């Protein structure tokens, strides 16, 4: 699966006719087909390194699902490097971290967005112990509580080679999407990530090649 280079953050909203949007639709279609057989409801996004496109892909895939009237929740679990609140102009004082520290309730941290059917949980203030919080009982409890309320739950997480956070989140989800910056693709790193995710008992749903040169993107579409 590949996503061409784009100009805007949520192309699915701003330019639904673009090649990038078609790629996100295609990713949704592939995942839906797979989800039917495998019961996939919680999906995390990770990558080898930073800046490969996890957040952009999470935003667009979540929007793609919301556009077909699925109830979608997008959680920012990149606790050391929060970013979703920037997109939706929201407050980040309360969020996943404050819930995991038992300082906020679920209803206090879930925020609706300007996109119909899409709600978000921002990361919240940066905690001192992100890995422990993500591995805590409270994280499992949160996922159990949101599952009956939403059709799909996407979790934007951190990269896996430098931190354990991304693996901890991936292991708790039904599946994980690995986002790879096509221009920076290093086979060794990609192989290592795959091994790390397997060791963590995460289920790799697929690899999303991001920022593919639009000239070649059609070749990669499916
Ligand atoms: N398909 C794309 N085409 C062009 N630019 C993109 C694409 N995907 C992401 N970007 C840009 O690349 C940068 C990094 O993207 P993004 O924030 O989604 O990556 P990330 O993996 O979440 O990064 P981080 O590790 O910091 O969380 C951003 O400036 C984003 O706008
Ligand atoms: Mg990010």
- Among 206, 181, 150, 148, which Cα is nearest to 54's? 181
Dig out the tokens for 74 from the structure.
Answer: 């997008």
Dig out the tokens for 77 from the structure.
Answer: 């679990």
- pLDDT of 190: 86
Report whether residue 160 contacts ligand 1, using a CB cutoff of 6 Å.
Answer: no
| Atom 31 of ligand 1: nearest residue by CA position | 9
**Dihedral sign for Cα atoms in the order 180, 54, 171, 200:** positive
In this predicted model, what pLDDT tens digit does every residue of 175-197 receive, in sequence order? 999 999 988 878 888 889 999 99
In this predicted model, what pLDDT tens digit does every residue of 83-138 receive, in sequence order? 999 998 878 999 999 999 999 999 999 999 999 999 999 999 999 999 999 999 99
In ligand 1, the atom with minimum distance to the C-alpha of 47 is 21
When mean pLDDT is compared across 7-16, 113-122, 149-158, 209-218, the lowest value belongs to 209-218
Distance from residue 83's CA to the centre of ligand 2 (Å): 6
| Atom 29 of ligand 1: nearest residue by CA position | 51
178: β partners: 46, 207
């Amino acid at each position: 699966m590949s996503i061409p280079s784009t100009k805007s953050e949520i192309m699915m909203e701003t330019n639904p006719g673009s090649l990038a949007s078609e790629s996100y639709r295609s990713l949704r279609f592939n995942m839906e087909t797979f989800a039917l057989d495998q019961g996939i409801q919680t999906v995390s996004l990770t990558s080898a390194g930073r800046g490969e496109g996890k957040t952009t892909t999470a935003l667009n895939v979540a929007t793609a699902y919301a556009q077909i009237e699925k109830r979608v929740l997008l959680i920012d679990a990149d606790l050391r490097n929060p970013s979703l609140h920037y997109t939706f102009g929201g407050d980040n004082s309360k969020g996943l971290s404050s819930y995991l520290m038992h300082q906020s309730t679920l209803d206090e941290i879930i925020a609706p967005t300007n996109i119909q059917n899409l709600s978000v949980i921002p990361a919240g203030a940066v905690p001192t112990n992100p890995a422990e919080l993500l591995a805590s009982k409270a994280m499992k409890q949160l996922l159990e509580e949101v599952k009956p309320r939403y059709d799909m739950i996407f979790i934007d997480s951190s990269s896996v080679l430098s931190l354990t956070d991304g693996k901890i989140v991936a292991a708790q989800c039904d599946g994980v999407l690995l986002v790879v910056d096509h221009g920076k693709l290093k086979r060794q790193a990609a192989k290592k990530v795959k091994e790390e995710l397997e060791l963590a008992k995460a289920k790799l749903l697929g690899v999303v090649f991001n920022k593919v040169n639009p000239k070649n993107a059609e070749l990669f579409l499916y």
